[in-house]
Amino acid sequence: MRRKLAAGNWKMNGTGASLSEISALAKMYPDASVDILVCPPATLLDRAAHAEQASAVLVGGQNCHAATSGAHTGDLSAEMLRDAGATSVILGHSERREDHGEANEDVRDKARAAMDAGLTAIICVGESLQQREAANTLDIIGGQMSGSIPDQSTGENLVVAYEPIWAIGTGKVPTLEQIGEVHDFIRSRLERRFGEGVGRSVRLLYGGSVKPDNATEIFGVSNVDGALVGGASLKAQDFAGIIDALQKA
């Protein structure tokens, strides 16, 4: 059985005052039946992870460097994230692929570093609108998977997030059939590459305009084990609507 996962991606949002949202979640879910993860900006990681009240909520990073240490001004290693209290790190988000020119190989190298440091790598894949309209979605996802997912992946250290780029922050959501098609495809590719045992144990998240009012139907789709949530994870109240839906799924 895969344990479900509600992951919040705060992106470049939040200062110390926002830590109260994490404390609020921790208070609401002292004993959740799903994993709850918040990925705040790196400046908040240590405080978020070590706030006494926030212990029920896992925290994660949004990026890491592929090297363990060295002359890389402004970067953070996976080990540093881990040291600050992170259990996971989001890698290959489309905003990083676009803003920082991250290629599949870069994402793979970062994922290796994350796994070596004991973190779970949440590797994002997803097609652009143009690629979907050209009926290239599965080719794109397949290529991103083989290029970005390292050989050492297991059900513990890998989570795959399907995030169609055109659905991120837009309020547009694919149909349930479209989500199901991609998630089934990701599952079958994982099984083919890593064998059925590992392939079936990796959690698959859907991301892109997940809100409390569409979460239930999305969580009913086959091979959707949770969500990677941007905007609706910033406020505990909104994120709670999604966590509740996942707990009932």
Among 21, 65, 79, 93, the active-site one is 93
Sign for the CA dihedral angle at 238, 84, 122, 148 comes to positive
174/208 with CB nearer ligand PGA: 208
How many chain residues interact with ligand PGA (CB under 6 A)?
A: 13
Query: Judged by CB under 6 A, which of 5, 9, 165, 239 binds ligand PGA?
Result: 9
51/125 with CB nearer ligand PGA: 125
User: 35 near 47, Cβ under 8 Å?
Assistant: no
Which region, judged by CB under 6 A, interacts with ligand PGA, from 48-56, 99-107, 162-170, 184-192? 162-170
- Whether 163 is a known active-site residue: answer yes
The pattern of x and - marking residues 169 through 208 that bind ligand PGA according to CB under 6 A reads x-------------------------------------xx
User: 209 near 171, Cβ under 8 Å?
Assistant: yes
Structure tokens at 105: 């190989």
The pattern of x and - marking residues 105 through 144 that bind ligand PGA according to CB under 6 A reads ----------------------------------------
80/215 with CB nearer ligand PGA: 215
First-residue to last-residue Cα distance in the chain: 13
Question: How many separate helices (H) and strands (E) can be counted in the chain?
Answer: 10, 8
- Whether 217 is a known active-site residue: answer no
User: 239 near 18, Cβ under 8 Å?
Assistant: no
- 226 is a site residue for ligand PGA (CB under 6 A): no
CB of 211 to ligand PGA, least distance (A): 8
Long-range contacts of 181-185 (CB under 8 A, 24+ apart): 181/138, 182/137, 182/138, 182/141, 183/221, 183/222, 183/223, 183/224, 184/222, 184/223, 185/138, 185/141, 185/142
| Residues classed as catalytic | 93, 163
